[in-house]
């Protein structure tokens, strides 16, 4: 729903389509000289496994039900999953 003339993106902004979102991201990147990337992207396929009732209510043309963009240089660092120790026998 955000227009291209208003080059502000706020947390929680809603868009009618992925094309509208991507065009707003591109114009924001060009006007603010930043590079954004998809940090957390949760697809509708994943939603089918975890919450099938919510997936039925979603629009069929959508690809994601959750999408987070972060600055290429300033986003949160990913936490390590392991302890950096190998198990030896």
What token pair was written down for 15?
């868009």
Range of the domain at 50: 36-73
Nearest to 40 by CA among 75, 10, 7, 1: 75
- Residue 1: inside a domain, yes or no? no
Q: Count how many domains the chain has.
A: 1
Q: Average pLDDT for residues 73-78, to the nearest whole number?
A: 68
Which range scores top for mean pLDDT: 21-25, 63-67, 74-78? Answer: 21-25
CA–CA separation, 40 vs 70, rounded Å? 9
Would 48 be classed as within a structural domain?
Answer: yes
Question: Which tokens belong to 89?
Answer: 């026998």
Residue 83 pLDDT exceeds 60: yes
pLDDT in tens, 3-25: 444 567 888 888 888 888 889 99
């Amino acid at each position: 729903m955000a227009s291209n003339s208003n080059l502000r993106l706020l947390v929680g902004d809603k868009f009618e389509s992925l094309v509208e979102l991507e065009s707003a991201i591109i114009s924001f990147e060009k006007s603010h000289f930043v590079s954004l990337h998809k940090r957390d992207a949760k697809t509708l396929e994943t939603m089918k496994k975890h919450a099938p009732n919510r997936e039925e209510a979603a629009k069929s043309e959508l690809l994601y039900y959750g999408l987070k963009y972060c600055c290429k240089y300033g986003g949160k660092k990913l936490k390590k999953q392991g302890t950096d120790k190998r198990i030896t026998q």
